[in-house]
Amino acid sequence: MLKADARVRIYSRDETAQFEMAQELAPEHDRLRYLIGDVRDRQRLKLAMRGVKYVFHAAALKHVPSCEYNAFEAVETNVRGTQNVISTAFESGVKKVLLVSTDKAVNPVSVMGATKLLAEKLIVSANGWSSSTQFACVRFGNVTGSRGSLVPTIERQIAQGGPVTVTDPCMTRYTISIEDAGRACLEAMEVTGAGDIYVPDMLCVNVIDLVGDVILQSGKEVAIIHTGIRPGEKLHEELFGPGEVDRKEHFEAGFTLVHPLDSTGV
């Protein structure tokens, strides 16, 4: 996909995360470039996207409780920020944009899920405005090991001596490792057509079983308490909406593509 002299730009507002990444990956990865900025800032985004051919759009407010209590901030980043990415991609001559989305966008009950659903809709519909830039999505469940995800939270609570908090013992979640998620993003960039939503095969796990496994691996004894479902949470997530069932195609390689509705464009 990339030429030998190509560069990869990491664009985010998290200076500390960029510093830590640079320290961990240097000096082997001298093709990386770190740019501070926000998807809300269209002018800065335009500078960052100059000359770029492929965009992985993962910028978002992702925590359900935080988005519930800061609803319009979620709109500004997840919705308006996505539209900024789309508009800037048009202007910059980008070949393809891949939005990193979530299963919470399927039949959403949370602000976070609703804003990610809107982001998906914006990305898919953007294909009607351009024949030179393609837009597609990849949809994940819980990315195990990512910052703020379930397993690191459990491990932190165990390290502090407990208790480990579980919202509801019946809750299930789709999970994928951070390594598999990274590979899925690269594959999705390769195989998706305009308007496709790529959904990798994922495990559906019972949260209480996952908690038990992490506690067992730690070799420690800690209490588990049930706190109840938080605002915006569902007991069970879904990977496909009712309107997507007739448009999905499963591949033996381990993923499903949800194809877009036929459109004549604009």
CB 139 within 8 A of CB 60: no
- Residue whose pair of structure tokens reads 């979530």 in the numeric block: 102
Q: Which of 104, 121, 234, 248 is catalytic?
A: 104
Active site residue 104: yes
Q: What is the DSSP string of the chain?
A: ---TT--EEEEES-HHHHHHHHHHHTTT-TTEEEEE--TT-HHHHHHHTTT--EEEE------HHHHHHSHHHHIIIIIIHHHHHHHHHHHHT-SEEEEEEEGGGSS--SHHHHHHHHHHHHHHHHGGG-SSSEEEEEEESEEETSTTSHHHHHHHHHHTT-PEEES-TT-EEEEEEHHHHHHHHHHHHHH--TT-EEEE--EEEEHHHHHHHHHHHHT----EEE--PPTT--SS--SS-GGGGGGEEEETTTEEEEPPPP----
Active site residues: 104
